[in-house]
Structure 1
């Protein structure tokens, strides 16, 4: 089966088998097999090719979404992933879809969720309609901490733009009963995606983009543990955040 998404992206950018092969450091025959036979390159090669094309690697090769390097490590720390890129977006979607009482999202932007799952707002509306409390805290693009993060990750003003883009994605949820949207100006040590008693926590590492930093899957096991530490951290940030006005 051919990879029509890759074919279309290459065509729109004027890329040939040869030019993409040179940029990705492979033989043109390899690129030809990616396109015509639907072959999936090695992860490192796929990441380089996707970066060259300006496209999401998982959009070009969905099979690379398979989570890897996860292992169970304890009653609360269910699994540990070497980097966020190892997790398929379906893990986040399934986590949020299973929530019955509470959804908390603490990020600067995390636009990868809306980009990979355009129905995210619909999912959040459905959860809220079923009585689930939804709180979304996004980074304030004008804050010094967001700007500093861009410098540290060598992302420049890109992080500020992504904060504004995230706000644009979530803004249609303003006024939906059960859903609150705020912006915060805190130093973001971790992004938190919580659904009831489970959470995915994306640690942030100085100089490393979030997709390259570790993620741990937590499940509450009694009180006072790791899960509660991150839940309380969310509440502390939420208390400083400003409601988004319609």
Structure 2
């Protein structure tokens, strides 16, 4: 399993593998091994240099190396990074998560059209679905009271409804493909959920603010963790009551 905390910290600091290697005086292949294998860690002095460079605590990047395993450690270990807004999530992180999905990608949104327009997700979905990767998209029903109310609250009356319709239209290009399911819902969207295998981005929503202005949690699935199960149960509850979107509508 890759070190998702290290990946996120690198994206947040806008530093590449090569730049980190230069700063801490190691071979780039060594840094690549730290990133790609969660159980590969630098020597103690190098860990400190990397943590200082990325402006995060050493034990956040490599929690298994701390001698102090307290009860909250599992919960904290689930949290890879907290971004002050969805807009603050590095573009490259979205790209890595979408392109790196190997088993399952689940999305719960009202619109989420930025995945298509900014990250060109549909060709990736099409190619990965052909290889057996499962995709589930839960998008809003633009005629539902929940979507209409959200648009009024955020001051985009008509705008949100239009974005939802556009996303539904985009998804017609992949709906019905093997391993791809699209459903619509009219539930109150307390959180947008973007799940990529064992990692997820959770976008909470505050009254009167746009989705892109709200904080984003980057979490990962670990044994004994509760955050992951909490949000995935929420996704499944909405999935169960949502309406299948017919292909070729």
Deviation, structure 1 residue 155? 1.1
Which residue does 1:79 correspond to in 2? 81
For the residues of structure 1 that align with 2:85 and 2:55, how far apart are their CA atoms?
10
Which residue does 1:209 correspond to in 2? 210
Q: 1:110 aligns with which of 109, 112, 134?
A: 112
Which residue does 2:231 correspond to in 1? 230
Deviation, structure 1 residue 223? 4.2
**Contact 1:76–1:220 (Cα < 8 Å) also in 2:** yes
Deviation, structure 1 residue 112? 1.6
Secondary structure at the counterpart of residue 80 of structure 1 = strand
Task: Say if 1:85 and 1:92 are closer, same or farther in 2 by CA, change over 3 A.
Answer: same
Which residue does 1:139 correspond to in 2? 140
Task: Say if 1:124 and 1:151 are closer, same or farther in 2 by CA, change over 3 A.
Answer: same
For the residues of structure 1 that align with 2:149 and 2:212, how far apart are their CA atoms?
18
Deviation, structure 1 residue 99? 1.7
For the residues of structure 2 that align with 1:127 and 1:93, how far apart are their CA atoms?
14
For the residues of structure 2 that align with 1:155 and 1:141, how far apart are their CA atoms?
13
Secondary structure at the counterpart of residue 77 of structure 2 = coil
Secondary structure at the counterpart of residue 186 of structure 1 = coil
**Structure 1 residues not aligned, in runs of 5+:** 1-65
Deviation, structure 1 residue 87? 1.4
Task: Say if 1:96 and 1:168 are closer, same or farther in 2 by CA, change over 3 A.
Answer: same
**Contact 2:199–2:220 (Cα < 8 Å) also in 1:** yes
Which residue does 1:31 correspond to in 2? none
For the residues of structure 2 that align with 1:241 and 1:92, how far apart are their CA atoms?
26
**Contact 1:153–1:209 (Cα < 8 Å) also in 2:** yes
For the residues of structure 1 that align with 2:234 and 2:154, how far apart are their CA atoms?
23
- What is the root-mean-square deviation in Å for CA atoms of aligned residues? 1.9
Q: Does 1:89 align with 2:91?
A: yes
**Contact 1:137–1:182 (Cα < 8 Å) also in 2:** yes
For the residues of structure 1 that align with 2:55 and 2:205, how far apart are their CA atoms?
18
For the residues of structure 1 that align with 2:56 and 2:188, how far apart are their CA atoms?
29
Which residue does 2:38 correspond to in 1? none
**Contact 1:71–1:79 (Cα < 8 Å) also in 2:** no
Deviation, structure 1 residue 196? 1.2
**Structure 2 residues not aligned, in runs of 5+:** 1-10, 14-53, 61-75
For the residues of structure 2 that align with 1:77 and 1:174, how far apart are their CA atoms?
32
User: How do residues 98-177 of structure 1 correspond to structure 2 at under 5 angstroms?
Assistant: 98-117=100-119, 119-177=120-178
Which residue does 2:50 correspond to in 1? none
Deviation, structure 1 residue 71? 6.0
**Contact 1:70–1:81 (Cα < 8 Å) also in 2:** no
For the residues of structure 2 that align with 1:179 and 1:209, how far apart are their CA atoms?
28
For the residues of structure 1 that align with 2:240 and 2:125, how far apart are their CA atoms?
22
For the residues of structure 1 that align with 2:56 and 2:177, how far apart are their CA atoms?
38
For the residues of structure 2 that align with 1:91 and 1:113, how far apart are their CA atoms?
12
Which residue does 2:35 correspond to in 1? none
Deviation, structure 1 residue 222? 1.2
Deviation, structure 1 residue 88? 2.8
Task: Say if 1:93 and 1:70 are closer, same or farther in 2 by CA, change over 3 A.
Answer: farther
